[in-house]
């Protein structure tokens, strides 16, 4: 029997909510399958977030390109005893034939914007809602958490360490990929290294030291086995004695051409211990030995440590990153904006949606820095909205690109390194006041005049829809 730690390709369409099937079946029975557009976006940003990082797009596109129901999936739906045979026959033939416009991975986005539009026959677009939100949600939340660590890291090396406490096997992979996308140097996750080409890093375990009869012997054994990975974990017992033992081993191994790379601090007062350790290493002539810190770190603790002058060269961030512990979810929505060539609008209190097909326009100043965004209609252009920025923008970029058309990619899939470069460039262009990790300024996003007029008209029309 196969292990449960898996997701078979033929199960992907069933990774779904039941109501997507019942709604789709009701649409089918009434012949309602005209072209429809659904907008994906975030109503409001999580606490202390001034931006979010677009991630998970490539996974969504991979799912949609191969979306189909195997006979085993049809058989399971049939076993529920609630679907008619003609609807199940329809699902047997269903493929995603629509268009996806989206912001590219590595782009920054803000509350109230459309980050992806799915346009397809109504049933095709309806039935994929959960998988789209599932993949974009976790990936962008974790990429944003990683970007916040990157923002305060002052160029230090950052490594994702969160697999063991990630909320599931797949979440561990997403954390590794999203963090690398958002500026991290690598991950401890070997499978992520294989799948995505991410650099992998690791040191030694406390158990390795505890299994030895002496700490110095453990250090020497590991350094001789892995001379290029010789980071000594010094806090199994007394941390500073561990640093002194590292000095002794470093002197002994130098004669054999083995150089200790670093020490790792994983507990205790990291500010104090890093400063004391640096003095011990420097006094011993080991200025080249780096200090790597880990142990319940996040962007707040990194900022505090570096603000206090801690001489730490690299950080391993685990649980706080892989779970985005202070903001584990974002208010993602997937809302119908256009059906059968007419705008659609939801007017629920606090959950109003935007009607019509749209584009997001980003204004840049003369130095290429972000000034603000306008959400407009799809038939508007950078030239037509440019004058709506005050003062008039130096340049305007349309953020939503066609990535999938007729169910197939229309552009070459970017590499993860290319998406990472997009993030780094985007992040550099965002003003620091939006990147601060506490109480960031709200980034300016407004509606174009044309969209504003459509909203007013559709609100008036919506009043008649309950008669």
pLDDT bucket at 1, cuts 50 / 70 / 90: low
What's the Rg (C-alpha) of the chain?
26
Rounded to an integer, the average pLDDT of 385-414 is 94
- For residues 207, 210, 212, 217, the Cα torsion angle rounded to the nearest 10 degrees is 100
In this predicted model, what pLDDT tens digit does every residue of 4-37 receive, in sequence order?
888 888 899 999 999 999 999 999 999 999 999 9
Domains (ranges, CATH) in the chain? Answer: 9-142+327-462 (3.20.140.10), 148-322 (3.20.20.70)
Which among 78, 70, 96, 86 has a CA at the least distance from the CA of 26? 86
Distances (CA, A) of 105 to 247, 287, 430, 458, 463: 45, 39, 16, 32, 38
Q: What is the pLDDT of residue 164?
A: 95
Reduced to 3 states, what is the DSSP secondary structure of residue 234? coil
Q: 458 - beta bridge partners?
A: none
Please determine, for residue 348, whether its predicted confidence score (pLDDT) is greater than 90.
Answer: no
In this predicted model, what pLDDT tens digit does every residue of 141-186 receive, in sequence order?
999 999 999 999 999 999 999 999 999 999 999 999 999 999 999 9
Which among 455, 424, 270, 278 has a CA at the least distance from the CA of 356? 455
343 phi/psi in degrees, rounded to 5: -60, 150
In this predicted model, what pLDDT tens digit does every residue of 103-131 receive, in sequence order?
999 999 999 999 999 999 999 999 999 99
Q: Above pLDDT 70, what percent of the chain? A: 100
Cα–Cα distance between 260 and 30 in angstroms, integer? 71
Please determine, for residue 446, whether its predicted confidence score (pLDDT) is greater than 80.
Answer: yes
Please determine, for residue 2, whether its predicted confidence score (pLDDT) is greater than 80.
Answer: no
Rounded to an integer, the average pLDDT of 206-220 is 96
In this predicted model, what pLDDT tens digit does every residue of 272-316 receive, in sequence order?
999 999 999 999 999 999 999 999 999 999 999 999 999 999 999
Which among 283, 289, 284 has a CA at the least distance from the CA of 311? 289
Rounded to an integer, the average pLDDT of 193-216 is 96
Task: Report pTM.
Answer: 0.96
Which among 353, 377, 335 has a CA at the least distance from the CA of 462? 353
Please state, rounded to an integer, the average pLDDT across all residues of the chain: 96
Query: Widest CA span of the chain, in angstroms?
Result: 89
Which among 59, 52, 50 has a CA at the least distance from the CA of 15? 59
Which among 319, 376, 327, 296 has a CA at the least distance from the CA of 50? 327
């Amino acid at each position: 029997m196969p292990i449960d730690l898996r997701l078979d390709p033929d199960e992907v369409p069933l990774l779904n909510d039941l109501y997507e099937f019942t709604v789709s079946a009701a649409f089918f029975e009434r012949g309602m399958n005209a072209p429809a557009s659904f907008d994906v976006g975030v109503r409001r940003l999580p606490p202390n977030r001034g931006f979010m990082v677009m991630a998970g797009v490539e996974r969504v596109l991979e799912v949609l390109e191969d979306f189909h129901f195997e006979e085993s999936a049809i058989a399971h739906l049939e076993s529920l005893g609630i679907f008619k045979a003609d609807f199940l026959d329809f699902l047997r033939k269903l493929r995603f034939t629509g268009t996806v416009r989206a912001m590219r991975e590595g782009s920054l986005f803000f509350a109230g914007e459309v980050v992806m539009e799915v346009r397809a026959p109504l049933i095709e677009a309806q039935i994929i809602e959960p998988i789209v939100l599932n993949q974009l949600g976790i990936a962008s939340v974790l990429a944003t958490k990683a970007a916040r660590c990157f923002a305060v890291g002052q160029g230090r090396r950052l490594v994702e360490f969160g697999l063991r406490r990630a909320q599931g096997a797949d979440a561990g992979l997403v954390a590794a990929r999203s963090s690398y996308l958002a500026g991290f140097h690598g991950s401890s996750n070997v499978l992520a290294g294989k799948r995505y080409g991410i650099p992998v890093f690791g040191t030694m375990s406390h158990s390795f030291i505890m299994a030895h009869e002496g700490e110095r012997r453990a250090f020497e054994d590991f350094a001789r086995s892995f001379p290029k990975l010789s980071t000594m974990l010094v806090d199994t017992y007394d941390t500073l004695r561990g640093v002194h033992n590292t000095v002794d081993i470093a002197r002994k191994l130098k004669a054999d051409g083995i150089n200790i790379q670093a020490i790792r601090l994983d507990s205790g007062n990291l500010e104090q211990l890093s400063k004391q350790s640096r003095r011990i290493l420097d006094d011993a002539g080991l200025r080249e030995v780096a200090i790597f810190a880990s142990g319940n770190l996040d962007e707040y603790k990194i900022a505090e440590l570096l603000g206090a002058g801690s001489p730490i060269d690299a950080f391993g961030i685990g649980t706080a990153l892989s779970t985005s512990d202070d903001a584990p979810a974002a208010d993602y929505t997937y809302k119908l904006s256009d059906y059968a060539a007419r705008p659609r609008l939801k007017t629920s209190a606090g959950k109003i949606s935007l009607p019509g097909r749209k584009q997001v326009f980003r204004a840049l100043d003369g130095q290429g820095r972000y000034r603000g965004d306008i959400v407009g209609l799809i038939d508007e252009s950078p030239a037509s909205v440019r004058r709506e920025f005050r003062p008039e923008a130096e340049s305007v970029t349309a953020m939503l690109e066609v990535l999938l058309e007729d169910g197939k990619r229309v552009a070459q899939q970017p590499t993860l390194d290319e998406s990472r470069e997009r993030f780094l460039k985007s992040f550099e262009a965002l003003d620091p006041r939006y990147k601060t990790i506490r109480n960031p300024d709200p980034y300016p996003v407004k509606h174009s005049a044309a969209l504003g007029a459509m909203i007013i008209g559709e609100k008036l029309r919506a009043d008649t829809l309950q008669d």
